[in-house]
Each structure stands twice: as structure tokens, then as C-alpha cells.
Chain A
Amino acid sequence: MTIPLAHYLIFSGILFSIGLAGVLIRKNILVVFMCLEMMLSAANISLVAFSRAQGTNGIPVYDAQVLSLFIVAIAAAEVSIGLALIVAMFRATRSVDSTSLNTLKD
């Protein structure tokens, strides 16, 4: 039995929405960061699903899978920078609360 494309897309959509909601709602910058990763993963899932759906005779279209590999690689790079920034921020402010990042405004 094959799972239809729609299910993948719905799942990916839900995952993306949860990520987005997390980014918008949560205060803890670590959680926000993880939610961001979740959104990237949601995009990866839909890409791979498309790659499968567009394939013929069980051979997927590899373009989309290559793209998703790129996204994984960039996400890894981004995580390393992001976490480093968060560590630096924590050292400076002793907190990981995103609402406290408003010194430029004041």
C-alpha cells in the first residue's frame, strides 16, 4: 500500500504550522530555534514527498532530494551559528528569554 501524496503534505503542513506557531508564541529562544528547525524539516518532508510522487516506475526525481540534502546541510551550519549566538547571549544577559532582547529599542 502506498501513502498518497496528500497525507505527506498535510503532515508537512501541520509540522510547519506548529513550527511557525512556536516561533511566534514561545519566549524561550532555544525553543524558538528548535521550532525554526522544525519548519525546515517540514519543507524537507514535502520536498521528498514530491520527489516520490513525481517519479516514474519507482524511480524518484532526484532534484528535490538533492535540494533537501542542501537544506539539511545549511540547517546544520545555521544551527552551529545560532547556538553559538544563543550561548553568547546567555553569557551576556544570563537569560534565554527573547523578550529581553530589546536593548536597541530603549
Chain B
Amino acid sequence: MNMIQNLPWLFLVLPLLVAAIDWLCFSKCPKTAATLSTLSAAATFGLCIAYLSGLQTGIPGVYVWMPTASAALDLHLGLITDDLAMRMMLVVTGIGLLVHIFSIGYMKGDSSNLSRYFAGLSIFMFSMSTIVLADNLAMTFIGWEMVGFSSYLLIGHWFHKASAADAAKKAFITNRVGDFGFLLGILLTIGVFGTLTFADMGNVSGTAVAPALLTAMVICLFCGAIGKSAQFPLHVWLPDAMEGPTPVSALIHAATMVAAGVYMMVRLQVSMGTEIFTETACLVISTVGAITAVMAAIIATQQDDIKRVLAYSTLSQLGYMVMAVGLLAGEAAMFHLYTHAWFKALLFLGAGAIIVCCHHEQDIWKMGGLAKRMPLTVLCFLMGTFALIAVPGFSGFFSKEAILDAAIVNHPTFFWIGAGVAAITTFYMTRLCLVAFLGSARDHGAEHATEAGPTMVLPLLLLAVMAIISGYGFMADKLVPAEGFTAPGFHFGFTFYVSLGALVLGLAAAIVVYGWGKRERDPLAGNFISKALRNRLYIDAIYDKLVIGGIQECGARIIEFIDFVVIRGLLVQGISWLVGRFGVLLSWLQCGSLRAYSCITGLGLLIIIIIIAL
């Protein structure tokens, strides 16, 4: 056994070890904990760079965790180190490292336990690496649950705040719904392929299996992605997850964890082969993605909280990726995932810097004039915005183009939906920038805002650079998580002009409505559409009524019945009643008459004698 062979295991062992040390040894010493966590992120990032620049260590060792009767079904822990996994690891560790550095500045002066925070980040890095590097679906599922757990920890970091604690619960429980489907999908996968190992799936031909079964399997597996990647109808947890610290939102709820669903689906497409994805399944996946993209983009136009605008924009972009997965354009999906990770992390960290500098003010209508006060941060934020709204030349432009290109070939309906969403995206992002950065400050927080500290600006600058250049061939060809990827570059076709049109349309509409930073209130607010959008189209309310009011109430009634009637009524009180009645019945024996007692004693004796005699 070669030690060097097992080098990739460091991706998992290092963060886990650091998380344990942070929490167990340095829980009173947050500076050491922060340093350790950041160092571990840096080390994994360095290792990742080493692998991508050609380090070969052979196949890492496989550990059989739970042996079964058949070797194919053994639950084993193994790592996959192909381009898809390793390049995805670069996104995870790279953004992870920057978020660690940013956190040091962002969490400075926070009164909560920072060791717990950094331990949580490290646990997340461990869990996410497990998903990315897993060589079988069971291990993916383990990582899947662990990212859910770490997301729960980090959303609920300020757990004394009721809204944060609720959001953490909501995220965890909503994910459980999707995970149930995922688990069913894994069982169906065993049924279809007889194995969970990605490498062995290609050996089995899916053509012999009934298409309906394949459709069911793919859709069940997709349920996991619906939960984790916050697709309609399980998207409700992601906007609430913004209650967590902003760096966490950037790392987990924008760049990496929510993209895990897309990564998993692409991994399945690569290992199972796209022919397994039946037409129906693909249509379901694309439709879910398209619905999410449109709905989230529309809701984002009427959000006032800077983080919530970004959260809905994340939903919408994830919808794009899922749509691309459904169009069997895994490469385009991964390309968008990769560019989105950089620019959305940038946007979130930028928003975090703005929030800190405005003294924890998140309402964009209380900001204003920030461009003059913190030009560097705003500049970086603008770079992220340009990438998100797909200004030609920025990274997001190339990846969105790739998805739209795939859509126009496979399914023109989705192409027009995608173009429409692009226009709305431009509209709400321009709205955010116009309102928050131009004009004059509308509140004290924004009046006294100054540039953020170096640990916060440095990650922003690096991410801004990535947001600009990561879409070009010289970066993308080496870094996009897909085998043998080549960046599309500029080509002035139909899609180019349509997305340019969407961009101009969105920009123009936003400038017409919101002016050049002169508006004090949202001119679109007040009517019933705006009210519906601000209430998230009442989806959360419906869930409250139907799921919590319906299922939970129904369950509560059943449990109440069991508790009160069966356990309390029949078992506890019933037995006591029975014994009591029996006692009353027997109490006539206690008549207080000596003669009666002796009579009974005599009779009893007689009975005993008769029994013995017989």
C-alpha cells in the first residue's frame, strides 16, 4: 500500500480533523480556531491545484465500510479523482478559502462563539468534499446529509435569534423531503444497475430496463437535487437561509452546496450515460428548472433585503442549471455552475461587506450613495452584477450563452423562457445597484459607511477577477468541471443577439422605473402584484396551511388520539379503573365481622384440603 496513493483522502480528513480540534480544543480561543480552519482550507486548495497541474498519485485506497453478501453492494468509501470531481473541488476549496478569509473580517467583533462558526465551516468543507469526491451513490448520500447538517449548524449560528433558528429548522426539514425521494432513487438504482459505484454503472446497459422504471429512478434521484438545489416546490428554505452569516450564504447557499444537486445529476449523466435519462424524465427536470428560474426571478424584482434579492437570484440561476441538466447539456450546466459559483460568491461577499459597513442594515431602500463611500467594494459588486446579468465579455455571459445554445437546439420553448429570465435578472440586479449605490444615503447606517477592511476586500478583488476572466478559454478549459471542456468563446449568432436584447431591455426598464438613484420609494410597490411578490407568491403561506396546518395537524390529532385515548384512557386510567373496581368488588369481604372472617378462612382451608386430597 502506497502512502502517496491515499493523498486525496486528505481532502476529507484534514477539514474533519480541524473541525474536531477547533471545537474540542480551541472553543475558547477563536483566533487559533480561525487560523486552523483557514489553513486547512488553504491546504486542500493547494492540494487541488497540485492535482489539476498534473500530479498523479494513482487510485486512492477503498475502504469497505459495511460488507454485504454480494461484493457489488458493499457499502464502501472510495474517492473519484477524475476531472469533473477535481475541478469541482477547485471551486469548492477556492471559494471556501476566500470565504474563510472573508469571515475573519466579517465576524470580527461578533459576540457569538466563533470557534463554533469556524468548526462549522470546516465540517462543511469536509461534507462538501465527500459529495464531490464520492465514488458511489451511498457515499454521496452520506455527504448529502452531512452538508444538510452543516448548513443547519451555520444557518442557525445566531441561534438566539428566533428567525435564524426557525430558518435552520426549515432548511433541514425541507431537505429531508427531497432526501426521501433521493433515497428511493438510490434503491431503484440498485434495482436497475445492481451497483452504486459510479465507475461500474457504465458497464450495464439501461436499454433492457423498462423506460417507466428508468423515468421513476431518475425523477426520484432528481428529488434529492430538488431539495438540495432548492428547486420548485422545495425552494422555500433558501431565502430563509439568509438568516445565517453572509459568508455562509456565499459559500453554502450560493456557490457550492446548492450546486451539489446539479453536480450530482451531471455525475449521474456522465456515469450512467445520457440514454438512461428518458424523455419524460428530462422534460420533468427542465420544467422544474424553468419554473424555478421564472418564479424566483419575478419574486426577486420586489425584494428589499439585499441578501434576499441575491437568494432569489441564486434560485433562478440554479433553475437555469437544472434546466440545462434536463436538456442533457451537462457541460453547459457545469459551466454555468462554475462561473455562477465565482460571481455569486462575489455578490454575496460584496453584500456582506456592504451590510457590515452600513452597520448591519440590509434594506436597499435605506442605503444609497454607497458608490462614493466604498468605491472598491461597489466596483467588485458591479463586476459580479455584470457577470450575473451576462454583459458580453463577463464570465456569466459565456455560460448563460452555452445553456441558451443547448436550449435552442433541444427545446426552443426553454430557450425563450431562459431569455425572458435573463431580462428579468437584468432588471432586478440593475434595480438593486441603482437604489443602493447611487443617489444619497437614506439612513444613518449608509451615511457613515466606509470601505471594508483588507481581509474582506482581498477576497472580493480575487473573486472579481474570477468573475471577469473565468469564462474565457484559457481559464475555463482547465477549470470547468467537465471532461474535455472547451470554452465556446464569442460567436455572434441568434442567441447572442437575443441575450443582448434581453440585457438592453432589462437595463432600460430598470433605469426608466428607478431613475438614476433619485427614487425614495419603490414606484412598483403598493399594488396587489407587488404584494403577492413580497409575500413570495404566498407559497410559504400555502405550505403553512397545507403542510403544517394539514399534515402536521392531522398527525397531531392521531397522536393525540393515541396519547389520550389509547395510552391515557385505555392503558393507564383503564387499568387503574379495573383494579379499583375489582377492589370495590372484593371490599365486601372486609365486613368487619370476626365470624365472617373465620367462616371464610374455614371455607378456604376446606377448599385447599379438597384440592390436595384430589
Residue positions of A touching B, CB distance < 8 A: 20, 23-25, 29, 32, 98-99, 101-102, 104-106
Contacts and interface: CB of A to CB of B under 8 A. Distances in A.
A58 to B, nearest CB: 32
Nearest to B598: A23
Contacts of B602: 20, 24
The 4 A-B pairs of least Cβ separation, nearest first, read A102-B592, A105-B592, A98-B594, A24-B595
Given A99-B593, A106-B592, 15 more contacts: A20-B602, A23-B595, A23-B598, A24-B595, A24-B599, A25-B595, A98-B593, A98-B594, A98-B595, A101-B592, A102-B592, A104-B592, A105-B590, A105-B591, A105-B592
B283 to A, nearest CB: 85
Contacts of B598: 23-24
B334 to A, nearest CB: 89
Contact-residue bracket for chain B: under 10
Nearest to A20: B602
Nearest to B601: A23
A85 B594 CA distance: 15
Nearest to B591: A105
Majority secondary structure of chain A interface residues (helix, strand, loop or mixed):
helix
A104 B591 CA distance: 10
A102 B595 contact: no
Nearest to B599: A24
Nearest to A36: B598
Interface of B: 590-595, 598-599, 602
A105 B602 CA distance: 21
B166 to A, nearest CB: 62
Contacts of A106: 592
Contacts of B592: 101-102, 104-106
A46 to B, nearest CB: 15
A102 B593 contact: yes
A95 B545 CA distance: 78
A20 B595 CA distance: 11
A98 B595 CA distance: 8
A20 B606 CA distance: 13
Contacts of A25: 595
A31 to B, nearest CB: 12
A1 B599 CA distance: 40
A106 to B, nearest CB: 7
8 contacts: A23-B598, A29-B594, A32-B594, A98-B593, A98-B595, A99-B594, A102-B593, A105-B592
Nearest to A101: B594
B435 to A, nearest CB: 89
Contacts of A20: 602
Contacts of A102: 592-593
A32 B594 CA distance: 10
Contacts of A101: 592, 594
A99 B598 CA distance: 13
Nearest to A32: B594
A105 B592 CA distance: 6
A103 to B, nearest CB: 8
A62 B547 CA distance: 91
A29 to B, nearest CB: 8
A102 B596 CA distance: 12
A30 B18 CA distance: 91
A86 to B, nearest CB: 12
A102 B597 CA distance: 12
Nearest to A102: B592
Contacts of B590: 105
